[in-house]
Amino acid sequence: MTAVAAFAASLAAAQSAHAQSVEKFYSGRTVNVVIGYGVGGGYDTYARLLARHLGKHIPGNPSIVPQNMPGAGGLKATQYIYAVAPRDGTVIGTVARGEPLAPLLLGEKSFDALKLTYIGSVTDEASLCLTWGTSAAKTFKDLLTRETLFGGEGPGADPDMFSTAINRIFGAKMKIIAGYHSTPELTLGMERGEIEGVCGYSASTLVGQQPEWIKGDKVNFLTQMTTRKDERFGDVPLIGDLASDDEQRQVINLVIAGQAIARPFFASPDLPEDRKIALRQAFDDTMKDPDFLADARRSNLDVHPMPGAAMEAFLRKLYALPKDLVAKAAEAIRIQY
């Protein structure tokens, strides 16, 4: 056997043993998917969709069990995964897309976003600012002249950050009513007349769970909080296009940057490298799985994935932005209830 062949054989053997160790670890185990929101909302729906298919792509085929852990707009679940959960690849989580930016923009000290192990995001998102049909605020311009009640979930959650940013950057008069814990609760709040609107209602959730709102003109669409327009709402302007100058546009685009990782999944810091690779590969394989894609279509859920390595690179780029721009965005979303 030549030296090259011997090296190739030894490398293949090492790779086989390496893969076997991951398979042996996960065989017969349970992987918990911690969901930072209550049952029935968009994050819960996407997490349960992933949980139905991910296990067959992880070596050893572990059982995947969703667990809801609502609180503080996803912060409770993030803190659990960061500091409490086992760092062995048996716990992954999903929280608000803005949560990985909380240390950068909100000064959150309880976790370091760049130390989390990013597995992937199922899709990007166009979040919508909308009001209930009976609200007097029927266009974005109406928000600038009249007080309008908008629902909030807690610091770090999109509805709170987006409403606050629009107030600060554009001079709107949105009043945030905090205390809701999920999209279904916000939905009920609008239907009951407790609040007039939500700024940060995911387009995918709306299409999948409230299609009658669109067909029946039950809500007013004010703006899309994203940089990539969802053409299903083509007549609804991008928030950046409503800016009056470049500075406004740059600041609001940083505030909404999390829309690119709309359905993020991550694990604890310091995950063993082989399990990190295995989980990322399993996620990528799930995103191409015909059964997963058919399941997503049946539920009217968008799939436009970002791999874990790309998520990590995306976040590192945001954390390296100029400090003055970050400071302006941070001030724009400083929560005051």
For residue 201, the model assigns a pLDDT of 94
User: What are the CA-CA distances from residue 114 to residues 40, 65, 82, 104, 318 (Å)?
Assistant: 29, 26, 11, 10, 11
**What pLDDT shows up at residue 45?**
93
What's the pLDDT score for residue 337?
57
Whole-Å CA distances, 11 to 1, 7, 127, 276: 14, 6, 47, 20
Domain 3-124+260-329 in CATH 1.10.3210.10? The answer is: no
Which is nearest to 140 in space by CA: 254, 229, 221, 259?
221
Are the C-beta atoms of residues 271 and 89 closer than 8 Å to each other? yes
Report the chain (337 residues): mean pLDDT per 10 consecutive residues.
Answer: 45 45 97 94 94 98 97 90 98 93 93 98 95 97 97 85 96 95 92 97 89 90 94 95 95 96 97 98 98 95 96 98 97 82
The position carrying tokens 């949560």 is 99
- pLDDT for the residue 122: 98
Query: Which pLDDT does position 56 carry in this prediction?
Result: 98
Question: According to the model, what pLDDT value does residue 183 have?
Answer: 87
Cα distances from 158 to residues 45, 74, 178, 333, in angstroms, run 17, 10, 12, 10
Superfamily designation of domain 127-258: Periplasmic binding protein-like II (3.40.190.10)
Q: Which residues pair with 121 in a beta bridge?
A: 264, 306
pLDDT at 15: 47
Which segments within 77-165 are labelled E, that is strand? 91-94, 117-121, 127-132, 148-151
Q: Do domains 3-124+260-329 and 127-258 have the same CATH topology?
A: yes
Q: Which backbone phi and psi does 110 adopt, to 5 degrees?
A: -80, -10
| pLDDT confidence of residue 298 | 93
Alpha helices of 27-101 — where are they, by DSSP H? 42-54, 75-83
CB of 123 closer than 8 Å to CB of 42:
no
- Domain ranges in the chain are 3-124+260-329, 127-258
* Residues contacting 30, CB < 8 A, separation 6+: 62, 63, 64, 65, 90
**In whole angstroms, how large is the CA radius of gyration of the chain?**
21
